[in-house]
Amino acid sequence: MKRSVKNKLVNGRPKKALAPYMFFCKDQRENITGDNPNISFGDVGRILGSQWQSMSEKDRMVCMKTPSIYIFSNPS
């Protein structure tokens, strides 16, 4: 039985934009897996979630206003 593949593009464009948290995750995932090569997928998600929650509202607003040019500076 084949699974149906949903069309993620409408008229050649994505259906909706990524959320600011997803931009943050895409940016930081490589750093986390680089520092911890044997870490599991779930643990990466937990670390990303805790980093996002620990960010100040001001830092999150930068990501929300301009997600396409979002740059995260890691304070550690």
Rounded CA gap, 50 and 44, in Å? 10
- Please, are residues 18 and 67 in contact by the beta-carbon 8 Å criterion? yes
User: To the nearest whole percent, how much of the chain has pLDDT over 90?
Assistant: 28
pTM: 0.63
**Looking at residue 27, what is its pLDDT?**
81
Question: Closest Cα partner for 50 from 21, 70, 72?
Answer: 21
Residue range 43-68: average pLDDT? 82
Q: In which band, very low, low, confident or very high, does the pLDDT at 2 lie, cut at 50, 70 and 90? A: low
Q: What pLDDT, in 10s, does the model give residues 4-23?
A: 556 666 676 766 767 788 88
Can you give the length of the chain in residues? 76
What is the DSSP track for 5-51?
PP--EETTEESSPPPHHHHHHHHHHHHHHHH-TT--HHHHHHHHHHH
Domain ranges of the chain: 28-76
